[in-house]
Amino acid sequence: MLNSRHAARHIVTVLFFVIAVVVMVPRAYGQANFTLAASAAHPSAVDPGGSSISTVAVGAINNVSSGSVALSCTVAPLETNGATCSILSSVTPPASPTLTITTTSLTPPTLYTITVTGTAGTSTLTVPVNLSVLAVTPAYTLSDTTPNPSSVHAGSAATATVTATPISGYSGSVTFSCSTISPTVTPAPVCSFNPATVTVTNSAAASSTLTISTTGPSATRLHRSTIFHALWLPLPALALIGAGLSTTSRLWKKLLGWLLLGMIVSEIMVTIGCGNSTSSSSSVTSTPKNTYKFTVSAIDQNKAAPSNGTQSISLTVN
C-alpha cells in the first residue's frame, strides 16, 4: 500500500516537471512560445505594377496563448521604386493575417524576398516569402474619346482627344494619324491632329486633339444667254435708216436698204448661235450623309506601334 502511494506521488512530481519544461523553460530562455508560417505568394510572379498576397499563420504552442504577437515585414533587396509590403501590426494567436506585396510600373525586375517578423515578449520568429517581378519591354498604349459632338451637319467639325500612355518606363515621341476612313466617299471627312507628334515620358501620358472636318454645300452661279442680247444689234442700223429717210437721194436709200438686210441676217445668225440657254459654274458637293469610321493609329521614333493596337472613332454626318 505504501509503495502504491509513493509511486503516485512520483508520477505527480514528474508531470509537474514536464509542464515546467514545456511552458516555463521556453519563456525563461527566450524560446518562441508561438508559431509563425506563411504561404507562397499568389501569384508568385508579377509584371511591374502588379501585386501579390500571402497568408501568414500565427499559432499558439500547446494551446497556451502568448498574448498578442507584433508583426512587421521588410523587403530585400532595397531598390528605388522597389516592391513594398504591408501586414497587420498585431494579432492574437491563432490568427491568419494577409501579407500584401505591391509594385509600381517603375519597379525594377528582380527576385524580392519579403521577411515577416513576429515578436511576443522576448520571443522572435521570422518567415520568408518570395516574389518575382518580371522584366517587361517598355511600350505605350493608345486611347481616344468619343467625338464632340458625335453627329454633325455637312460643313461642320467635331473633336476628340487621343492619348498615348507609357508602360514599364516607356519614353519617346509618338506621331498620330488616321490610317483609314470608311466608307470611301467624295469629298471625304478629313482628320487632323494638334499636335501631330507628342512626347511621352516614363511618368506621364501625352494627348493630342483630333479634329474631324467635313465639307458643306457651296452656292451655284448661273449664266444665261438669251435672244434678248441679240435684239440690241439692229438698233444702230435703224438709227442710220432713220437718218437716210430724211434725205431724197435714191442711191442713199438703196445703200441703207442693203445695210438693214445685212443687219437682219446677222441678228438671225447670232440668235441661232447663242440660242436660249442656261449654264452653271462648277460647284462643290458636300460630304454625304453617313456614319463614318476612322481608324486612329500611332508610331514612335523607332517605328513601334501601340501595344494595344489601333483605335476606332465614329462620327455621323446628317
- Check whether residue 227 and residue 307 sit in a common domain: no
- Which residue(s) pair with 311 in the sheet? 296
Average pLDDT over residues 244-258: 62
Q: Looking at the 3D structure of the chain, how many domains does it have? A: 3
204, 298: one domain: yes
Q: Are 247 and 160 members of one domain? A: no
Same domain for 270 and 168, yes or no, is: no
Residues 310 and 180 placed together within one structural domain of the fold? yes
In a domain, 13, yes or no: no
Distance, CA of 219 to CA of 281 (rounded, Å): 10
15 within some domain = no
| Residue 211 reports pLDDT greater than 70 | yes
**What integer pLDDT is reported at residue 276 of this predicted model?**
52
**Which amino acid, one-letter code, is at 81?**
N
pLDDT (tens digit, 9 = 90+) per residue, 10-67? Answer: 554 544 444 444 444 444 445 678 999 999 999 999 998 999 999 999 999 876 666 8
Give a yes or no: residue 244 inside a domain.
yes
Segments forming the whole domain that contains residue 271: 222-280
Does residue 92 belong to any structural domain of this protein?
yes
Give kind and range of the element (H or E) at residue 255: helix 250-274
The pLDDT tens digits of the residues spanning 101-151 come to: 999 988 999 999 999 999 999 999 999 999 999 998 889 999 999 999 999
Q: Do 143 and 183 share a domain, yes or no?
A: yes
The DSSP secondary structure of 149-203, one letter per residue, reads: SSEE-TT-EEEEEEEEEEETT--EEEEEEEEEEES--SSPPEEEEESSEEEEBTT
- The answer to whether residues 305 and 228 belong to one domain is no
Q: Which three cell numbers stand for residue 170?
A: 516607356
pLDDT tier at 268, thresholds 50, 70, 90: low
DSSP 29: T
Is residue 3 situated within a structural domain? no
Which among 133, 161, 178 is the end of a domain?
133
Same domain, 193 and 293: yes
CATH assignment at residue 65: 2.60.40.10
Question: Would you say residue 70 lies in a domain?
Answer: yes
Domain assignment present for residue 210? The answer is: yes
Q: Are residues 182 and 289 in the same domain?
A: yes
Instruction: Show which of 133, 162, 181 is a domain's final residue.
Output: 133
Average pLDDT, rounded, for the chain: 82
Q: Is residue 2 part of a domain?
A: no
Asked whether residue 87 falls in the same domain as residue 182, the answer is no
Mean pLDDT in residue range 303-317: 96
Instruction: Give the burial class of 61: count Cβ atoms within 10 A of its Cβ; 0-12 exposed, 13-18 middle, 19 or more buried.
Output: middle
Same domain for 274 and 155:
no
Give the Cα separation of 99 and 129 in Å (integer): 9
Which of 133, 158, 173 terminates a domain? The answer is 133
- 212 and 235 share a domain? no
